[in-house]
Structure 1
Amino acid sequence: MTPRPLACALALGLIATFAVPDAGAQKRRGKANAKAPAVSAECRDFYTASNAGWLEANSLPAGAASISALEQLRDRSRQQQIQLLDAAMASPQGNVQKLLGDFWASGIDEAAVERDGAQPIAPLLERINAIRRTKDIAPAIAALHQVGIPVAFNFGADVDLKDLNRHIGYFSQGGLGLVDPAFYTRTDADTRKVLGQYNGYVQQILALTGTPKDQVAAQAQQVIDLETRIAQASRPLSQLQDARMNYAPVPVAGLGKQYKRLQLADFLKAQGVNDDSVSIANPELFNQLDTLVDRLKPEQWKTYLRFRVGDAMAPYLAKPWRDAHFAFRGRTLAGATEPAPRRDQVLDAINLAAGPMLAREYVAKHLPDASRARAEEVATQVRDAMAAAIERDPRLSAQAKAEAKAKLGNLRIEIGAPRRDLDFTVQPMGRGSFGGNMLIASTWRHREEMKRIGRNNADRRWSVLPQQPALAYDAPHNRLIATAAMLQPPVLDTTQPPAAQYGAFGALVGHELSHAIDERGRLIDAKGEVRDWWTPQDTSAWQQLGQRVVAQYGAHAYPELPNARVNGALTRDINVADLAGVESAWAAYRAANPDADAAAQQAFFRAWAGLWPQRMSPEAAAQRAASSAHTPGMWRTNGPLMNQAAFAEAFDCKAGTPMTLPEEQRVRLWP
């Protein structure tokens, strides 16, 4: 490589100084030895400088893939839930706490679980074994759905894409023990191996349900044969990602005639659903199921249903069931080396079956009014700052600006928990049957989920539980959701100065709100109608911005991986949203605090950095580098800040320092 002229001049100057001493040599030597102005740690690598204390205190535990500040927040929320359940078990206050306390006590008492054996599913197996004729199969399927065990297919409530103010019932594919239908049809050696291991697991569960030893192998093959027939009529997983491809409303009135053996009209009545339409995006599958009910012998269906019940309930029964379930689903499929601690397993079960009950108590305990009010105030200000910035956007057309501002103007901000009324009337739970309580709670939750189907109630549900840390933009309902568990350090700490609250929580709010107006948000307008409100010019401008972000982040080295860089294309959308979040939160902060001094301004950026400290094993880093849409914590911190003139000013980072990009290289969403 040819030396740059400046480098040559410096080299020659040093040679002259050391080679030709004279009367003024000492003076010149002093000048030569003078050090260049020191670059502060913050201007070299803000992530490491700001998170030095966390990084020193948190080494990666042996065998762990990663640890991060946000993972610690998740773990803290889980510990809070466990403490709440312990208190409800010891001294319940009210009916809901009594239910939760008994549920918890029955789960952590492993001796009681062992004594209970398989008794919880005995009534379900008796119901299945009572099947005699073809016409008995469909009612048995409906009955299992009622207790939260979906068989043959899935059925759930979700938003109606033609009327976002309502939920409809979606009949969709399911009923398989292996999630990917391709496992049943591919012929490569690895797939055949997994299918063989699955066969062994089916045999174990069937044996535990009472199948005679000399019939287990044949009956397991019957299960796999039926599931293979379902898989053959199922769509590839890749086709299930687009919600529009899985939306096909049909009148309920015609279901009885179209699916006579499957009895879908009667199925809906059994679930308590009284609506005029449902979605069936894969009628070929349901035609196949209707045919299978007619053509396969009831005995084969009984075997399949017994296995599905045993498989679904195995984690909540005695040790032989749990061991079989973990050996296949935990170790073989998920790669786990050992089961989670018992308390974690029971907590997961309660969240699955009775999550909204636990949410009610968690919000009352862990969401102070001050935190709720402050979160709503900051989020509103960030929304307003983003709307003002859109007006200055040189890339968006006038019509896109108008739609984007209208959409933000219509945005709802929901903090803590969804606004909904649940009926907590539930069959009493005791402390002697964890599996029995699981079925009681699952039946209750299924009942409440089915109530969502209908008009004028779609917004009364969140896709995440309030006791689980989450901050999300809900596109169909144009709302920002911030769960109660999210409103604690490092995201929101009301004891910290305002700058820190904007730099952490506010920037995450801005990140999520950017999705209202980005490539995803463009598909739903301010009225909630599904349409693309961008012009071709808007699309082109966004793509150009995205390419600049791809190039910039693609130049960053990936932590823990020598000779690897961030995949700028894979992480583009998250990175653009981070830029939007920091910009809009900073604007909101400065508008609310115009006289903030340098120390206060620095607190804003330190709070942003405090969200992202992490440690990863080389294996986890390699996996995430190849497949994760999230940039590693170092660059989620440094990447946006290198583009902010306000950051350089706050920390007095001069041009040419690593954290200060040249003006022409900076990416700004809004000038």
Structure 2
Amino acid sequence: MVKSSVPLVALLAVSTASAGALHGIQPGDINRGGQACDDFFDYANGAWRQQNPIPDYMDRWSRRWQSGEVNKERVRDILTELSARNDWPKGSAGQLAGDFYAACMDESRIDALGVEPLRPWLDEIGAIGDRDGLQREIGKLHAAGIAVPFVVFAGEDLREPSKTIAHLYAGGLGLPDRDYYFKTEPRFVEARAKYLLHVAKMFELAGAPGEQAQRDAQTVFEFEQRLAEASLDNVQLRDPKLQDNPTGFDDLAKLAPNFDWSGYFDAAQMPRAAVNVTQPKFLQQFDRELAKTPLPQWQAYLRWQLLHAAADSLSTPFVEENFAFNGKFLTGTTQIKPRWKRCAELTDNQLGEALGQKYAEKYFPPQAKARMQEMVKNILAAMDDTIRELDWMDDATKQKALEKRSTFVAKLGYPDKFKTYDGVAVSRDSAWNNVVAASRWNVADNRSQVGKPTDRSRWGMTPPTSNAYYNPLQNEIVFPAGILQPPAFDVDATDAVNYGAIGVVIGHEISHGFDDQGAQFDAQGRLKNWWTPADGRQFAAKGQCVVDQFEGYFIEPGVHHNGKLVLGESIGDLAGAKIAYRAYLKSREGKGPEPTLDGFTPQQQFFIAWGQFRGDETRMETQRTMIQGDPHPVAKYRVNGPLSNLPAFQQAFQCKAGDAMVRAEAKRCEVW
């Protein structure tokens, strides 16, 4: 995570007889001057990138990202239709999504209001007179989804995922992650300097005099720096064992005795039960801040976090200043997205299942689900075959791996049961008030699950989302309708293309169940070792091969990938490509091979489809941010990295030993 639109018409199973009418890869996207065995990323999609520069408002671009932006046009069309009516029943999906979008689009009203929608909040923070008032204010901000500086979120119990408990997470930082507060390389020093200016400017826009704004910005930075010092880094955050710290409710007082946990949980309407404290050291630092930090410093920090959360729902000066730091500086984008796109994204984020119900009705027919189910079935079977044939795993561990694979659940398109958002009050009067109303509902909805059996019907993404995920605690792979469209999934494409694009994504998500994180969870989703000691050591050694490979991938002199950070995603890409290719070949048994199209064999089409799907052009500023904190490698190495390990790729393009896309046998990585 991480991280896409032509309507999906009826998708029918492709017969051998009709295969000749289907299209293959996009031949015009190929860089004919490049060499597949030299740099496949450049070869597969280089011409498209050359002809399609990144739009000013985007930080990366490819047919996949282009498709995601077109998808937002579909969402906009739905929202425009909904917002054109004023007679929707109050509280209905149409009224909620339509009025939310309409208020967001009313830029003149938002600009006229300026910072006034926040005035009651800012006044309340300014009126805090003692530690009890500070704690109540923290609780109120949490209820609106603002993590200051921690957040309590309901989720599966890592040891017994059939139950839902409260998890306490670290939060409250304004820079991308903890290392931005400490690293000494010039880009981090520059980020800290620009961040101080950004925070001060936001305070000024909210009405603070210049000198006071600068002092408050320094206070905020020092406060966040102390929190960051007590936080896990990005690699540590990938280790579920480090974040498995079940704590009895009464024991919370031992970690943070200065906080009124009973009052907090009662106000949040959560049972006083055991909590998983994901970062005990952070919570202890929070307690020290609670006891020792003067109230005016806390007030400056709370004001900043409120402004940070609300900026994009306020008037144009706030939006532009927020973009100047988080957009221009951190990602390299030079132009803010059009308001309609931002409003479509915000509506999806806050009321995604009200909007998603309309989206699914229009763009994801039952036939699409059936075709995806067939592909998922084939790729799961290919994973079974791969596990059975492993020569480095003993029978006892294989049996456990196969047992885990057998319990996989695939969710496709949209939930069977949509959220109703009962009680959310949305109007056309205030965009910020609508955000607060929806956020409060979403927080309360999440909190309502604490102490209950886990509801496996819930989704972690909305139907229009162009992404996919694996949840190890429920052992489920999830593909929203938004990703099930060209170039990922196309009814008019050959099987080779579909297996090479969405098929590798399916394989990738399946493989997450067996990457360095997922492999720590058993068939029931419990954080529990199921490996023999010898097989565990073999698995770690195979993972280390991937770590070493990606440590050698540089985006610019002196800046390379962190192999441990990208290990899980890179295992997913490597295994995903392997098992999707295997599933593709198996799917053709009894049907005969697909035809050569545009001079490319079916095997070549499979791999080119992956290169074209994943072939993003990415701004250097975004690459630097990704290298620091994103568990996904940059696009070039998501293409070249896994394929350079695969004999099937080398055979398809007749690559030879010594070619850049052929890793030496001694360095070749294979995990699954």
Kindly state the Cα deviation for residue 91 of structure 1 after the two structures are TM-superposed: 3.9
1:417 and 2:414 matched: yes
Aligned residue for 1:74?
68
| Residue aligned with 2:594, SS | helix
**Alignment equivalent of 2:171, drawn from 170, 174, 184:** 174
Aligned residue for 1:134?
131
CA contact under 8 A between 1:363 and 1:466: conserved in structure 2? yes
CA contact under 8 A between 2:500 and 2:581: conserved in structure 1? yes
Could you say if the C-alpha distance between residues 642 and 310 of structure 1 is closer, same or farther in structure 2, counting changes exceeding 3 Å? closer
Kindly state the Cα deviation for residue 170 of structure 1 after the two structures are TM-superposed: 2.3
Deviations 1:583-618, CA, capped at 9 Å, x for gaps? 433443444432333434844642442232236479
Q: Greater CA deviation, 224-233 or 415-424?
A: 224-233
Kindly state the Cα deviation for residue 444 of structure 1 after the two structures are TM-superposed: 1.7
Deviations 1:492-526, CA, capped at 9 Å, x for gaps? 22343445433433333223323333444432222
Could you say if the C-alpha distance between residues 605 and 473 of structure 1 is closer, same or farther in structure 2, counting changes exceeding 3 Å? farther
Could you say if the C-alpha distance between residues 554 and 648 of structure 1 is closer, same or farther in structure 2, counting changes exceeding 3 Å? farther
CA contact under 8 A between 2:332 and 2:619: conserved in structure 1? no
Aligned residue for 1:349?
346
**Alignment equivalent of 2:575, drawn from 567, 571, 580:** 580
CA contact under 8 A between 1:507 and 1:581: conserved in structure 2? yes
Aligned residue for 1:593?
588
What pairs up with 1:381-400 in 2 under 5 angstroms?
381-400=378-397
Aligned residue for 1:492?
489
| Residue aligned with 2:162, SS | strand
**TM-score, normalising length: structure 1:** 0.78
How many residues are matched?
628
Q: Give distance in 1, aligned partners of 2:185 and 2:626.
A: 27
| Residue aligned with 2:527, SS | coil
Deviations 1:368-392, CA, capped at 9 Å, x for gaps? 1111121112101221232133222
Could you say if the C-alpha distance between residues 404 and 300 of structure 1 is closer, same or farther in structure 2, counting changes exceeding 3 Å? closer
1:445 and 2:439 matched: no
Aligned residue for 1:158?
155
Aligned residue for 1:33?
none
Aligned residue for 1:88?
82
Q: Give distance in 2, aligned partners of 1:386 and 1:414.
A: 18
CA contact under 8 A between 2:249 and 2:274: conserved in structure 1? yes
Q: Give distance in 1, aligned partners of 2:132 and 2:585.
A: 69
CA contact under 8 A between 1:523 and 1:533: conserved in structure 2? yes
Q: What letter matches 1:636 in structure 2?
A: V
Aligned residue for 1:365?
362
Kindly state the Cα deviation for residue 642 of structure 1 after the two structures are TM-superposed: 8.7
Q: What letter matches 1:70 in structure 2?
A: R
| Residue aligned with 1:363, SS | helix
1:535 and 2:532 matched: yes
1:269 and 2:263 matched: no
Q: Give distance in 1, aligned partners of 2:663 and 2:214.
A: 69
Deviations 1:97-143, CA, capped at 9 Å, x for gaps? 22112121222221111122223222323433443333222112111
Aligned residue for 2:373?
376
Aligned residue for 1:512?
509
What pairs up with 1:8-157 in 2 under 5 angstroms?
54=48, 58=52, 66-91=60-85, 95-157=92-154
Kindly state the Cα deviation for residue 657 of structure 1 after the two structures are TM-superposed: 12
Bigger relative CO (Cα 8 Å, ≥ 6 apart): 2
**Alignment equivalent of 1:480, drawn from 477, 480, 483:** 477
Q: What letter matches 1:401 in structure 2?
A: K
| Residue aligned with 1:106, SS | helix
Q: Give distance in 1, aligned partners of 2:215 and 2:36.
A: 67
Could you say if the C-alpha distance between residues 362 and 272 of structure 1 is closer, same or farther in structure 2, counting changes exceeding 3 Å? farther
Aligned residue for 1:306?
303
Deviations 1:406-449, CA, capped at 9 Å, x for gaps? 11111111112345553412443222321222212211221222
Deviations 1:278-325, CA, capped at 9 Å, x for gaps? 123444544554454455554554444333322321221112333333
Kindly state the Cα deviation for residue 41 of structure 1 after the two structures are TM-superposed: 9.2
CA contact under 8 A between 2:561 and 2:633: conserved in structure 1? no
1:243 and 2:230 matched: no
CA contact under 8 A between 1:150 and 1:175: conserved in structure 2? yes
Kindly state the Cα deviation for residue 453 of structure 1 after the two structures are TM-superposed: 2.5
Q: Name structure 1 gaps, 5 residues minimum.
A: 1-39
| Residue aligned with 2:336, SS | coil
Aligned residue for 1:522?
519
Q: Give distance in 2, aligned partners of 1:225 and 1:668.
A: 43
Q: Name structure 2 gaps, 5 residues minimum.
A: 1-33
CA RMSD of aligned residues (A): 4.6
Could you say if the C-alpha distance between residues 70 and 128 of structure 1 is closer, same or farther in structure 2, counting changes exceeding 3 Å? same
1:610 and 2:612 matched: no
Q: Greater CA deviation, 564-573 or 397-406?
A: 564-573
Aligned identity (percent) is 26
Could you say if the C-alpha distance between residues 500 and 452 of structure 1 is closer, same or farther in structure 2, counting changes exceeding 3 Å? same
Could you say if the C-alpha distance between residues 448 and 571 of structure 1 is closer, same or farther in structure 2, counting changes exceeding 3 Å? closer
Kindly state the Cα deviation for residue 160 of structure 1 after the two structures are TM-superposed: 1.9
Aligned residue for 1:6?
none
Q: What letter matches 1:142 in structure 2?
A: G
CA contact under 8 A between 2:627 and 2:633: conserved in structure 1? no
Q: Give distance in 2, aligned partners of 1:615 and 1:473.
A: 22
Q: Greater CA deviation, 539-548 or 512-521?
A: 539-548
